[in-house]
Structure 1
């Protein structure tokens, strides 16, 4: 045989072997688990969810290659509570993080410990926004990295690529982007024709400031797509096909801090070659609390009895079965810059949604305590949300954008009563500090009076001098673990 040809053949075989070894770094049958989480993006702002005016090519590709969920939800349209339930399998009040920038309960067992027991390395790449570190104790953690010419830090792409290339054991990685969360790209003189409008923002078609901001938001979405595209390239280059990949966004920006679907309904697209049928669609209700139980199921473990979520692995394998009869929502307006006392709870099935706004103007007089400094803030909260009624009921099949409140329609009395009953059963199980008795309207803060205070100014909320610093620790419901 010609020595030159033999040498070329040897080099070719060596190259193939090296490439195969790269993809077969792990010999385990346990799949890699990757969750890519965008930040503050509406489910309505994706090509695969029907918005042809925004560029989401990488997510659309995932949908073609995997499964798109039409009814996926978070329980809270705010960063820290959304992420805490994702990593714990428990709804916000139960896991303890139901106000932004607060901690989960210190005895909570999160995804890190559950998956570590099953032989996984658990990694965070990007934005955290969850605490305490004793609960969310990552094996590896890489911070977002600065990048010139863009408004937000990038995910640590170099660290992600290097990890994929050299991984030797099954891993679970949360890749948490800071996009498209504001600040957005600056766009001047944008065209309204380039923006898709919906019933909840249709009145903004002639608002140039809104249009410019929306165009910048679209550009930030496109920038996040570049990050996702890179990550998918790394997955396809370095990892074998036994890799389960989820894309989602933590909540919608248009409904942030609310319990409307524009805040709680999330994009949710998954890919798992040889398991999930390409181009499939799931319409069953799933929830962020279901993610950890599903990960555990896939990894060979089981969800614990105290978790709220359930595994949706059967749906991934092609079974169209009910995972949840209901999903639930929580609203806590305290501990944000526009902080007001206006808590809400929500229950939703596939057709109907019921919302109770516990400090509505309709009932605020019954919520007063007789203490002027406390009652000032209770009244202020009700007046700030003066257009939101005590009860809301929507038929989501007829009215998906929740424009027609049916709460006082006698034709829906039985539906409303059923949802009210089941909502308060769930709230009791969660250990909620609210109940079905009007007149229970606590102000919340943290132990030692160190937390966010209602009687102090913020950059977005001013308090009259006469009422500043008048609230004492005994005026609050103290959340001890915050």
Structure 2
């Protein structure tokens, strides 16, 4: 009888041990995250577009899961990338709601866990190809100039390689100088006789004051020399695609993580000549077609190398689409609604500024042709990957990241899924989402134009409240009719901001 309890315990634990052994024996899935730039919710065929053709991206939806309530917590570039890489709201950093520039330091804090370092620690070879837009260097380190920032003629560090990536090939940003490629820590094709040199060029005063950089240097520059290293815009997507495919080929024998951050379809919209005139809505559509081609090349590489079955592919956008930085309800080009039925556009806190397409394909795990209405955000990718690999997240990391792995696997009833979401606009407007309710603390979308084009002082209400289940287009403001709901959401927003975290 004295041996009964140990025997019973062993019998009970045997299935768990066998399950664990089976999990360990399975190869780790490769992970690819493709992030488009300024691609709107309505810019893909699988999200309703009819005037552009996106068969390769649509394939991810047909063979995987399409999310209809996915968001970038921010509505502009740099914050979106910080959110994705760290699982933390960018407005908790010195960059606040804005973007970093050529003379800004690395935004990711020293020692902070990132998506790349998490996966590298789990045995993945990690690579970033494309738009970085998170800064290089740090004040007080070699090569740093307090007025001009990092020295682009030398080693650019800290940068991607210091926050978890084994390989980097890409540009520091898009739509701002310098327009160069960097491989690992060095500028590609730099002529020693034509070094990169900047002169100061402060941005408009309202932006300088608003962004409140942690130093007194000007926040923008002009390029005085070094232009021989500039890449050709029309060839950029081709080069990035070539590097991405090469990365997959070179690391096919080991688990890899590839973060492919495209410059499409950010301005300047200059697709390669082979895509010119391929859409019925002009260069905007042509640029989408080029992006779709690139995704097709990546998927083809996975097929040819027999890696598709063991690769989890994510596709999304860094924020909503944009037509022009002006107050418009719907961004539209030749009858094509960039953000579909959503109000607003990039830089705004309206849904058109931050609700984004989000697709996931993992054959045999994510059901083909499935759809999820689960609320998710880019900052949730880190916790999801940690959940996938059963890697614990330290308390001082990924403070605003929730795993959506249950939703991916068709089990959205899990209690630890995201219940609320904070969004912010470029000009600092906040919104808080809980269930179908969304509160905007402000009287418009808080977009790029807001400081120049303020609303009249006599506004209808102090804020905005929408029921997104009934009014996805945010046309009926219920703020004055629901004071208790407004009070609850206001208190929740204050708590999430003050606590320094939203993940328990």
Are positions 1:384 and 2:453 aligned together?
yes
Between the aligned partners of 1:158 and 1:261, the Cα distance in structure 2 is: 34
Shift of 1:385: 2.5
Greater Cα shift, 140-149 or 290-299: 140-149
Unaligned runs of 5+ in 2: 1-24, 137-157, 172-180, 182-229, 272-278, 323-344
Q: 1:142 to 1:305 in 2, by over 3 A?
A: same
Shift of 1:122: 1.2
Alpha carbons 1:360, 1:386 under 8 Å: kept = no
- 1:263 aligned counterpart, secondary structure: helix
Greater Cα shift, 352-361 or 169-178: 352-361
Alpha carbons 2:380, 2:401 under 8 Å: kept = yes
Choose which of 322, 341, 344 in structure 1 pairs with 2:429: 344
Shift of 1:423: 1.0
Are positions 1:282 and 2:376 aligned together?
no
Normalised by the size of structure 1, how large is the TM-score?
A: 0.67
Choose which of 315, 321, 324 in structure 1 pairs with 2:418: 324
Normalised by the size of structure 2, how large is the TM-score?
A: 0.64
- For each residue in 1:284-329, what CA deviation from the matched residue of structure 2 results, as whole angstroms up to 9, or x when unmatched? 1011111011112223312333421111111111112361111111
Between the aligned partners of 2:265 and 2:451, the Cα distance in structure 1 is: 31
Which residue matches 1:83?
81
Which residue matches 1:48?
46
Choose which of 305, 310, 321 in structure 2 pairs with 1:253: 321
Alpha carbons 2:73, 2:354 under 8 Å: kept = yes
Alignment of 1:23-102 (within 5 A): 29-98=27-96, 99-101=98-100
Which residue matches 2:168?
141
Structure 1 vs Structure 2 CA RMSD? 2.9
- 1:123 aligned counterpart, secondary structure: strand
Alignment of 1:232-271 (within 5 A): 232-238=299-305, 239-254=307-322, 255-271=345-361
- For each residue in 1:126-175, what CA deviation from the matched residue of structure 2 results, as whole angstroms up to 9, or x when unmatched? 11112353553420011267987937544523332233223132111100
Greater Cα shift, 100-109 or 238-247: 100-109
- For each residue in 1:366-403, what CA deviation from the matched residue of structure 2 results, as whole angstroms up to 9, or x when unmatched? xxxxxxxxxxxxxx965633268641111112221212
- 1:156 aligned counterpart, secondary structure: helix
Which residue matches 1:173?
258
Choose which of 391, 394, 405 in structure 2 pairs with 1:313: 405
Number of residue-to-residue matches in the alignment: 352
Between the aligned partners of 1:107 and 1:43, the Cα distance in structure 2 is: 34
The higher-RCO structure (CA 8 Å, 6+ apart) is 2
Are positions 1:405 and 2:477 aligned together?
yes
Shift of 1:281: 0.4
Q: 1:107 to 1:117 in 2, by over 3 A?
A: closer
Q: 1:147 to 1:229 in 2, by over 3 A?
A: farther
Between the aligned partners of 2:445 and 2:258, the Cα distance in structure 1 is: 42
Which residue matches 1:112?
116
Choose which of 417, 420, 423 in structure 1 pairs with 2:490: 420
Which residue matches 1:221?
288
Q: 1:149 to 1:256 in 2, by over 3 A?
A: closer
Alpha carbons 1:246, 1:268 under 8 Å: kept = yes
Q: 1:126 to 1:185 in 2, by over 3 A?
A: closer
Which residue matches 1:14?
none
Unaligned runs of 5+ in 1: 1-26, 187-193, 196-213, 334-342, 362-379, 433-482
Q: 1:233 to 1:423 in 2, by over 3 A?
A: same
Larger radius of gyration: 1
Shift of 1:430: 2.9
- For each residue in 1:391-440, what CA deviation from the matched residue of structure 2 results, as whole angstroms up to 9, or x when unmatched? 111111222121222222x2x222222211111111112389xxxxxxxx
Alignment of 1:11-26 (within 5 A): none
Choose which of 93, 115, 123 in structure 1 pairs with 2:127: 123
Alpha carbons 1:352, 1:393 under 8 Å: kept = yes
Shift of 1:225: 0.6
- 2:499 aligned counterpart, secondary structure: helix
Greater Cα shift, 32-41 or 157-166: 157-166
Between the aligned partners of 1:129 and 1:401, the Cα distance in structure 2 is: 31
Are positions 1:158 and 2:157 aligned together?
no
Alpha carbons 2:433, 2:439 under 8 Å: kept = yes
Q: 1:111 to 1:185 in 2, by over 3 A?
A: closer
